[in-house]
């Protein structure tokens, strides 16, 4: 199976998923803002967005899990971030850079496995890497370096749990469900399932 050549259907899938996830991301941002405000009186405002971080990784996780081609996770995440910005995210264009960092997590772990491993463990590893990378990014870009270390530790734990739930489990389940429904017929994820059944 040639995993390097892009086809029109690949571009369409990335575009459609980016549009959908961009809307979801925007909704999470506003919900996170409400939670941020609710936690402010308790000195825990920084935790407001953490439960949603796994959702922010889903475009990249979905793209690379379904298409299984180099760059698909990164491009899907980056495009979703661009669209979220255009939809009216109040953080502005900086989220495009965030999307780049978020997309790198899954690309890194799957590239290390030469784009041949897409099991649940690999997706969980990608979720953890995304969580760590984005927190490091936040330390330098988002001013998280001013947050107390114990609070940062809690933030990382919540972020990792969120990422594992949404990207290690929900995203593969969503994709596998779409395969069974025939929506993703012809994509690498469907061929991968066929090979698993043959084994």
- pLDDT for 20: 94
User: What pTM did the predictor assign?
Assistant: 0.89
In the chain, the domains with their CATH numbers are: 8-198 (1.10.1760)
Read off the pLDDT of each residue in 83-106 and give the average, rounded to a whole number.
89
Tens of pLDDT, residues 137-194: 999 998 899 988 999 999 999 999 999 999 999 999 999 999 999 999 889 999 865 4
Distance set, CA 43 to CA 46, 48, 71, 160, 187 (Å): 8, 11, 39, 21, 47
Average pLDDT for 23-30:
91
Whole-angstrom distance, CA of residue 21 vs CA of residue 16 = 9
Q: List the one residue out of 92, 94, 90, 117 whose CA is nearest residue 106.
A: 117
């Amino acid at each position: 199976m040639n995993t390097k050549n892009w086809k029109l259907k690949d571009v369409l899938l990335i575009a459609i998923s980016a549009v959908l996830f961009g809307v979801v991301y925007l909704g999470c941002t506003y919900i996170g803002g409400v939670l941020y405000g609710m936690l402010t009186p308790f000195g825990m405002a920084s935790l407001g967005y953490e439960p949603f971080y796994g959702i922010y990784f889903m475009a990249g996780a979905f793209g690379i899990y379904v298409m299984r081609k180099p760059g698909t996770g990164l491009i899907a995440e980056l495009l979703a971030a661009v669209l979220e910005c255009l939809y009216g995210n109040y953080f502005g264009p900086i989220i495009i850079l965030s999307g780049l960092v978020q997309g790198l997590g899954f690309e890194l772990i799957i590239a290390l496995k030469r784009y041949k491993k897409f099991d649940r463990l690999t997706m969980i590893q990608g979720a953890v890497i995304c969580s760590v990378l984005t927190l490091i990014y936040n330390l330098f870009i988002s001013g998280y370096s001013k947050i107390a270390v114990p609070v940062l530790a809690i933030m990382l734990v919540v972020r990792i749990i969120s990422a594992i739930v949404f990207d290690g489990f929900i995203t593969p389940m969503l994709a596998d469900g779409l395969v069974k429904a025939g929506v993703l017929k012809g994509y690498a994820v469907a061929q991968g399932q066929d090979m698993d059944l043959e084994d």
